[in-house]
Amino acid sequence: MADFRLHSGGLIDRDRKISFTFDGRSYQGYHGDTLASALLANGVRLVGRSFKYHRPRGIYGLGGEEPNALVRLRQGARAEPNIRATQIELYEGLVARSQNNWPSLRWDAASALGLVSRFLPAGFYYKTFMWPRRLWPHYENFIRRMAGMGRSPEAPDPDHYEKCHGHCDVLVIGGGPAGLAAALTAAEGGAQVWLADEGAQLGGGCLNDGDASAARDTIAALESLDNVTLLRRTSVFGKYDDHLYGLVERTGDHLASPDLGMPRQRLWHLRAGRAVLASGAIERPLVFANNDRPGVMLTSAALGYLRTYAVRPGSRAVINTNNDSAYGAAAILAAGGIEVAAIVDHRHMKERREIPGAEILHNHAIIDTRGKKGLTGVTVAQLDINGDAVPGSERQLACDLLCLSGGFTPSVHLYSQAGGKLAFREDIQSLVPKSEVPGMTVVGAANGDFGESEFIAGGAAMDRPVSLRKFRRKQFIDLQNDVTAADVELAAREGYRSVEHVKRYTTLGMGTDQGKTSNLNGIAVLSDALDRPPAEVGVTTYRPPYTPVTIGALAGRDVGPFLAPDRRTPMQECHEKAGAAFVPAGLWQRPHYYPRPGETMTEAVNREVLAVRRNVGIVDVSTLGRIDLHGPDVAEFLNRVYINGFKALAVGMCRYGVMLRDDGMIFDDGTVARMAETHFIMTTTTANAGPVMAHLEFYLQVVWPELRVHMTSITDQWAVAAVAGPRSRDLLDSLDSDIAFANQAMPFMAWRGGAIGGIPAQVFRISFSGELAYEIAVPADYGPAMWEMLLAAGQEFDVNPYGTEALTTLRTEKGHFVMGPEADGRATADDMGLGAMLSSRKEFVGRRSLRLPGLAGGDRLHLVGLMPVDGRSQIPPGAILLDKEMAGRAPDKAGHVTTSVFSPSLDKPIALAMARNGRQRLGAQLWAHSPLDNRIVEVVITDPVFVDPMGERLRA
């Protein structure tokens, strides 16, 4: 195989040879190569198959603009699809595979059989395959298989990624001549400067087509300054509100695997005082038939391979141009040993430039190309006055490299993301920044100022035609998504006018390259088709990211167990040691039940419930929100946020309270204990601890700032266990304590402070289970000691620790609603049967809404109990309640099942439900129908309180 490497020059290190494989074959390159340059040096030109048509494709660009050369890099868990070969730095042992072909890259079945092309016109998703509709799933399956990109890895990524926050005065985006100069000026003025560039080497375009020595001096000067941070291999991919920039630094991508302790990539959230956008310009291709064969590439890319990597991308070149830059390029290519056969210039020029050995064809265009797996020649023709080919003027030229030079498109993505407006400049046929956006200055080629580079400067004297009207077949505009000029014209003929709609209909510019080489040509074709100037056609909105960012970098370390913080109660280890099964409750992991050896979940839960009903159980309730309130106005404040009164609550007593939102719906419930005249402790539900705090702060700060109340969340400072069951008092009495637990000394809803077994404690006689119960709160660090003490002392009373499942069964048996299933944000206190609690003597949040139509009247859903008529059938949770009288029509929904359990106390299934006018329908029989498992159970409406309706047990 021919060697295309030059013997000298370039930025590669010839002393460091590197072996790599592509599609299973071994090759050699040098340190400093990209996969693309190394493949070209080895004469590999065919590197992939195209997205829709499976056409052979080669290396087309030099960097992030590459539409064709997408490969699957690495193997196994580190495999990554759709990576641009032009941006993969070569390392020893690199393994890459081509994509989108079967059975092989050189012989692709879909392409050979022409399976796809005629089925996939513009908008194919919207028409061809939509009929007949029942076959769409098959079509879709077929399309997904044929028109796809690379495969994702199957195993979790073994590398880690990290996120950092940064701040600087000036962020310079792009390390070309303009960016380097801007960075040095800003740094010398004393600013903290960050400069980010996508490449491993700073210098930008002057590495490829100009004199890099000046850039090297500037880089050295910047490196010597303390106030400058240079980020290489770093893409600035997004500009967000208030000068926030998203950067991804590829710290380990150039290595086989990241160095020990180093992340694979690092995501920066950077706040910059201001930014200098020096992102340069990307060369535009010209459009003609079969302009996609391997061997066709951007002229700037060809120069880059020659100058940076010392690789000849071909032996005999034809350059197709519409501007002056091609002539300088031709001289550079010729000096690098590439025979320049011809320059095909669309323009009619009076003044002719000579390139030794090259034929200069003015007023000519390329109208077709030849070559199966690689370019072998082109057809040129003379242009007539309308820009069409003159019949009979066609000529064949042999070449293996076709360089396209259609002018330069400023990379204005980040400027546009910042809200900047674009103006069309006729002389460079491009969109350029119209005016400054706050905090961002656009400089150099990105601003349409091509003066910095001799090569790119030639891009300013150009002529209009980018494509030929009469030869629209397989004239590709977007090579990555296989969108042709004919597709864009078809969209226009079908009535699409807006460039945004044409984009979505044809998928133009929607690939991973985001149309870096295709957008402007698409606009030009659309402008011709619509007969409107390009400035009027406009451009689609630029959105982040500028270049693909891996999900790994965005996720950072927040994966697996670190996805969310893990909240652990002080007794968590006790529960783990006891072999509890856990269930997530928000960020908490709460014990679900405590299975004994050989027990099923049902058996364990039934045992725990019966232990509480017959003896005693203990449950960890440290997850409930706890808010400490101090101040002379706390009682008044509580009076205003709860539906019931709190002013008369005596010190030493607790009260249950229900909070509403101002729209009258139940917001939360809990108990409040009066610790002292001006000191209260409030509990909230586990899930609502944060929202209740914010709610109370809102009313204190915004609505009633005159109230003197200070609040602190103390959830994390306390460990709390509930001791529940008829023998709970016996258990507590058996402990060494200065607290009197007897009914007279500590009645229902009282609280007492003291010490239990030497541990300082607050004991609240409140009950959720309906049994005689005490909640014991101790400082968090004493939690495990308190828990173990209760278990040890409880042995003689057959104490059972119980989990949330038993808790649910116990509260369901008692008809207690909870936030979520019953109080779902649409329920009032009266709906829950708590109408009597609503104070009529005071104002409170939400009270006014209770008089609104719809809340005050009848026909509301009430909390009720349900029992199966047969006494055996489990009532499907979430089932819809239906009236039995159907009267020949679809029955009305009479409510829904909210909680369904098996009650060990009653030895039968029970449920809670929200039923329309349910309290007036006790005894009515309904169907409970679950469409999910298509079960229907006959149920009867009961009072929601199944156990101890008089509440004698908890007052015992």
Partner 1 sequence: MLLIDCPHCGPRAQTEFSYGGAANVARPPAPEETDDAAWIEYLYLRDNAKGQHDELWQHIFGCRRWLQLRRDVISHEIISCSELRRPLAEDGP
Q: Closer to partner 1 at the Cβ: 192 or 369? A: 192
CA dihedral 319, 325, 327, 331 (to 10 degrees): -90
CB of 63 to partner 1, least distance (A): 28
Q: Tell me whether residue 8 or residue 840 sits nearer to partner 1 (CB atom).
A: 840
Please give the DSSP secondary-structure letter assigned to residue 134.
G
Tokens of 129: 């395959």
Chain length of the chain? 956
- CA atoms of 746 and 474, how far apart (whole Å): 90
For CA atoms 58, 61, 62, 63, the dihedral sign is: negative
Residue 269 vs 896, nearer CB to partner 1: 269
Q: How far is the CB of 75 from partner 1 (least distance, A)?
A: 37
- The residue (of 15 and 242) whose beta carbon lies closer to partner 1 is 242
Strand partners, 276: 172, 441
Q: Which is nearer to partner 1, 549 or 766 (CB)?
A: 549
Give the nearest distance from C-beta 439 to partner 1 in angstroms.
Answer: 11
Q: Are strands 476-478 and 483-484 parallel, antiparallel or unpaired?
A: antiparallel
CB of 564 to partner 1, least distance (A): 15
Q: Measuring CA to CA, which residue among 48, 67, 50 is closest to residue 58?
A: 48
Closest approach, Cβ 191 to partner 1, in A, equals 18
Which residue's CB is nearer to partner 1, number 624 or number 850?
850
In whole angstroms, the minimum distance from the beta carbon of 417 to partner 1 comes to 13
- Write b or e for each residue in 268-287: b if 16 or more Cβ atoms lie within 10 A of its Cβ, otherwise e: bebebeebbbbbbbbbbbbb
Q: Taking Cα atoms as reference points, which of 441, 453, 417 lies closest to residue 324?
A: 453
User: Whole-number minimum distance, CB 703 to partner 1, in Å?
Assistant: 5
Residue 187 CB, nearest approach to partner 1 (Å): 24
- Name the minimum Å distance from CB 161 to partner 1: 19
For the bound state, the minimum distance from the C-beta of residue 251 to partner 1, rounded and expressed in Å, comes to 23
- Give the Cα separation of 657 and 831 in Å (integer): 16
Q: Which is nearer to partner 1, 70 or 692 (CB)?
A: 692
| Contacts of 306 by beta carbon, 8 Å cutoff, 6+ apart | 6, 312, 313, 332, 333, 336, 338
Q: How far apart are CA 10 and CA 4, in angstroms?
A: 13
For partner 1, the closer of residues 795 and 840 by Cβ is 840
CB of 708 to partner 1, least distance (A): 12
3-class secondary structure, 879:
coil
Maximum separation of any 2 CA atoms in the chain, in Å: 115
Sign (positive/negative) of CA torsion 285, 289, 294, 296?
negative
Dig out the tokens for 339 from the structure.
């025979």
Q: Tell me the three-class secondary structure of 629-646, residue by residue.
A: EECCCHHHHHHHHECCCC
Q: Which residues pair with 906 in a beta bridge?
A: none
CB of 661 to partner 1, least distance (A): 9
Residue whose C-alpha is closest to residue 61's, from 373, 306, 299, 343: 299
Instruction: Name the residue nearer to partner 1 (CB basis): 126 or 562.
Output: 562
Residue whose C-alpha is closest to residue 457's, from 425, 412, 427: 427
* Nearer to partner 1 (CB atom), residue 241 or residue 859: 241
Closer residue to partner 1 (CB): 438 or 495: 438
* Residue 510: CB minimum distance to partner 1, A: 26
Angle in degrees, 0-180, between the axes of helices 177-188 and 213-223, rounded to the nearest 10: 30
Listed residue (674, 676, 669, 679) closest to 644, CA to CA: 669
The residues binding partner 1 (CB under 8 A) are 240-244, 269, 271, 419, 640, 662-663, 690, 694, 697-698, 701-707, 843, 847-849, 851-853
Q: Select 841 or 872, whichever has its Cβ closest to partner 1.
A: 841
Secondary structure (3-state) at 553: helix
Nearer to partner 1 (CB atom), residue 318 or residue 711 = 711
For 39-102, the DSSP string reads HHHTT----EE-TTT--EE----SSTT-SS-EEEES-GGG-EEEEEGGG-B--TTEEEEE-S-S
Enumerate residues 6+ apart whose C-beta is below 8 A from 356.
Answer: 334
Q: Where are the beta strands (DSSP E) in 536-690?
A: 581-585, 588-593, 617-620, 625-630, 654-660, 666-676, 679-684
Using the minimum distance from each CB to partner 1, give the nearer residue, 700 or 875. Answer: 700
Non-local (6+) Cβ contacts of 179 within 8 A are: 172, 173, 195, 197, 204, 276, 278, 443, 444
Which helix (H) or strand (E) segment holds residue 914: the answer is strand 908-916
Task: Give 575 or 860: the residue with its C-beta nearer to partner 1.
Answer: 860
Find the shortest distance in angstroms from Cβ 240 to partner 1. Answer: 6
Shortest Å distance, C-beta 863 to partner 1: 24
- Of 550, 508, 542, the C-alpha closest to 525 is 508
Which of residues 598 and 853 has its CB atom nearest to partner 1 in the complex?
853
Q: To 10 degrees, what angle do helices 601-614 and 804-813 make?
A: 60
Q: Give, as one character, the DSSP assignment of residue 768.
A: S
Q: Given the complex with partner 1, which of 139 and 704 has the nearer CB atom?
A: 704
Tell the smallest beta-carbon distance from residue 635 to partner 1 (Å): 14
Shortest spacing between CB 544 and partner 1, in angstroms: 12
**Which uninterrupted H or E stretch holds 30?**
strand 25-31
